[in-house]
Chains A and B, each alone.
Chain A
Amino acid sequence: MAFASGYFKTSYVADLALVETRSKWACVILLITGLIVFPFVASAFLLDIATQIFLALIGAVALMLLTGYAGQISLGHAGLIAAGAFTTAIMFKEFNATIYLTLPASGLMGAILGLIFGLPSLRLKGLYLALSTLALHFIVTYLGAEYESQRGFATGVVIDSPSLGPLLIEDPRLWYFFLLLADILVILFAINLVRSRTGRAWMAIRDRDVAAEALGIKVAASKLSAFVVSSVLACLAGCLFAYFRGFVSVEAFSMLMTIEYIAMIIIGGLGTILGAVFGTIFVVVLPYLIDTIVDIFNVPSRFTTYMFAIKYASFGLIMIIFLVMEPTGLVGIWRQIRDYFILWPFKYKPLGR
């Protein structure tokens, strides 16, 4: 982490610590208190947005691990989330299973799918791999649609709210805390994973797989593990998605969803967990931001019928701008600003990051 005066670490314990200084502890505690207080002061609308961010964040972290850290392109992320959601829906409808059963089952489904669709990654790279994951998306959504039509849930499967012990999670505030807890667990898991041996192996493969193999990394096993971890997380996200919406239908899992997740990690900045967080916030908030702008400028009502199209187009435009102008994403901008203030009035970059 950046210090104005240099890089001081005198023990391995200090090197292993997640939060390094007392001022950072203060920031973390402040952030967590803020997040805990937030649902009691915010309006129902803001609370809903925050919950949506939390829900999307799990999926974004999953994709970040696969694409940002292990460097494997996936165009089938919505398919994986759909697989989790449908596993939950089918288990709920057919066996009346509770969340204690559906959540692990979704994870298991993710592991199996990750293993199957990670297999092409052993033979293929880059574009070819992306296309095989695209095939995954279409196959999963087809199977989901087939289940819907065969069992007569033509418009979708309705799912009851989950209950944890005596607690029925139905209230928006309860959902907020439940998803916040899930997010914290996922992020802690991801941060620790990417600095462990597995995560460092992924990054080595991303940067140059031949060199990674020469260093003694088992490339095939590492790639497969990246696929499995990512798709387990994605399917868990899908399970929570199903419970949160209370409704599962294939229409929700279109290519647009995959693109939204890809946009999250690109706009946020590839190769950082913080980037996944920033990107998710940005992508979830953007449509509401456009709504507000339209309200402020009092756009004639002729255009408001095209709101969806406007959001769509500006979404594409912002992605292009980030890809062309700022490939490091929001995290890059954030680091520049932070370094500027930490180093002021000097212009040197700190050692380490």
Chain B
Amino acid sequence: MQLIINIIQLASLYCLICCGYVLIYRASRVLNLAHGELMSMGGYFLFTVVIGIVADPIPSFLIACIFSVALGFCVYFFLMRFMAGETVFAAVLVTVALGILLRGLMTMIWTPQLLHPLQYLKLENSSYKLFAGGVTSTFGIVMVISALVLYTGLFLCFKFTRWGLRMRAVGERPLLASQRGIGLHKYYALSWGIAVFSGGLAGMIQACDSGLDNSMFVIGLKALPVVLVGGLDSLLGVIPGAFVVAAAEVITIQYISPQASEVAPFAVLLAMLLIRPWGLFGTKEELERV
């Protein structure tokens, strides 16, 4: 039972993070390797807001989310916009460099110590006993709920709103979309905004759950196999992908060793690349093949 709860919690964390990878990949065919850092920026924003502005849970989360979205816009307008027309390799390397820059800045501004935004929020991360002897925590539940809400929201948005339709169009064929009068920059920036927002939200909840330091970005890297398993261009695929990878990780912790669990996602990744490189739900033509 506990195993299943752990898997669900980890899977929803991965869902929140990976939504960002998929959105950016779909929009601009760039794999954002700075996502782990952008995610921890969310946690640090929350910490700053809680210390400096309001220490109330809901407003502080909202303000930190706004900061995250703004960060996403900034990344697009001041950096990624210039990479249009360059090779994908160069764009990916720019995100790697951005990650290094952010990691340095984070350590400079917020010190490398472990921070706990929770203690300033005057909240308890209490544990709840569920049926059949399973135990979970407040923020574990928050994580699952926000993943559910985010995915339902995104799904409805893509399906029924004008913006969602345009974003899909931009992702599908940027040239045609722009000829039909869709402002590409706006929608690229929007996808960066949403991506950093969802990653940042994951960072905030994770920071409340288990503290915040500059090594949080590793979670972002470990989430990469999830997107690959689900298919890089499929938002829906993230959910089964997250469950597969989370299950592999939790089961390895339980039955082999915590050290081995660090590589379990990557073992899944290799297996997936050998069998179905385009992922469970990805488009086959999407894959650049030899």
Binding site for B on A (CB under 8 A): 73, 120-128, 130-132, 134-135, 138-139, 142, 145-146, 149, 209, 219-220, 255-256, 259, 262-263, 266, 306, 308-317, 319-320, 323-324, 327
Contact residues of B between 32 and 85, Cβ < 8 Å to A: 79, 82-83
Nearest residue, chain B, Cβ from A130: B92
- A128/B100 contact (C-beta < 8 A), A73-B89, A309-B107 known: no
Is B101's CB within 8 Å of the partner chain A? Answer: yes
Cα–Cα distance between A306 and B111 once the two chains are bound (Å): 8
Question: For B88, what are the chain A residues with a Cβ–Cβ distance below 8 Å?
Answer: 126-127
Contact with A along B94-133 (1 / 0, CB 8 A): 1011111111111110001000000000000000000000
**Across the interface, do A316 and B100 meet the contact criterion of CB distance under 8 Å?**
yes
For A131, A209, A263, A306, the residue with the greatest tally of chain B CB atoms inside 10 Å of its CB is: A131
| A313 and B105 form a contact (CB under 8 A) | yes
- Give Cα distance in the complex from A124 to B277, angstroms: 8
Q: Which residues of B contact A306 (CB under 8 A)?
A: 107-108
CB distance from A266 to the nearest CB of B (A): 6
Establish whether residues A128 and B94, one from each chain, have CB atoms under 8 Å apart when the complex forms.
no
B31 at the interface (CB under 8 A from A): yes
A127 near B31: Cβ-Cβ < 8 Å: yes
Cα-based distance from A324 to B97 in the complex (angstroms): 11
Q: Is B162 an interface residue (CB 8 A)?
A: no
Who on chain A is nearest to B96 by CB? A259
Given A125-B288, A127-B31, A314-B104, A132–B270 Cβ distance below 8 Å? yes
In the complex, chain B residues whose CB is within 8 Å of the CB of A327: 86, 90
Task: Report whether B97 and A323 are in contact in the complex, using a CB–CB cutoff of 8 Å.
Answer: yes
Interface on chain B toward A: helix, strand, loop, or mixed SS? helix
In the bound complex, CA of A290 to CA of B83 (Å): 28
Taking A126-B89, A127-B31, A139-B263 as contacts, is the C-beta distance between A312 and B221 under 8 angstroms? no
Question: Any chain A CB within 8 A of the CB of B175?
Answer: no
Q: Known: A139-B263, A313-B105. Contact between A131 and B274, CB under 8 A?
A: no
Nearest CB in chain A: distance from B244 CB, A: 15
Majority secondary structure, A binding face = helix
Task: Jot down 28 A-B pairs with beta carbons below 8 A, ordered by A.
Answer: A122-B290, A123-B273, A124-B277, A125-B290, A127-B92, A130-B92, A131-B224, A132-B270, A135-B225, A138-B262, A142-B259, A142-B260, A209-B290, A259-B96, A263-B97, A266-B93, A308-B107, A309-B106, A313-B100, A313-B101, A313-B104, A313-B105, A316-B98, A316-B102, A316-B103, A320-B97, A323-B97, A324-B94
Given A131-B269, A132-B269, A317-B101, do A123 and B277 touch, yes or no (CB 8 Å)? yes
Q: Is B156 positioned at the interface, with any CB of A under 8 Å from its CB?
A: no
B266 near A135 (CB under 8 angstroms)? yes
Closest to B274 in A: A120
Contacts of B221 in A (CB 8 A): 134, 255
Closest 6 CB pairs of A and B: A313-B104, A316-B101, A316-B100, A312-B104, A309-B107, A319-B97
- B245-287 vs A, CB cutoff 8 Å, 1 = contact: the mask equals 0000000000000011011001101100110010000000001
Report the minimal beta-carbon distance from A278 to chain B, rounded to whole angstroms: 17
A306, B232: Cα distance in complex, Å: 37
Query: Could you say which residues of chain A place their CB within 8 Å of the CB of B96?
Result: 259, 262, 319
Give me 8 other A-B pairs in contact (C-beta within 8 A), A131-B269, A313-B105, A323-B90 excluded: A123-B277, A123-B290, A134-B224, A135-B270, A310-B104, A313-B103, A319-B94, A319-B96
> Which chain B residue has the least Cβ–Cβ distance from A305?
B111
Known pairs A131-B224, A134-B224, A312-B104; A146 contacts B93 (CB<8 A): no
Q: Does B289 contact A (CB under 8 A)?
A: yes
Nearest-Cβ distance from residue A220 to partner chain B, whole angstroms: 8
**A219 CA to B290 CA, complexed, in Å:** 9
Residues of B within 8 Å of A311, CB to CB, are 104
**CB closest chain-B residue, reference A143:** B263
A130 to B173, CA, bound (A): 25
Which residues of B are found within 8 Å of A308, using beta-carbon distances? 107
Determine whether the beta carbon of B266 is less than 8 Å from that of A320. Answer: no
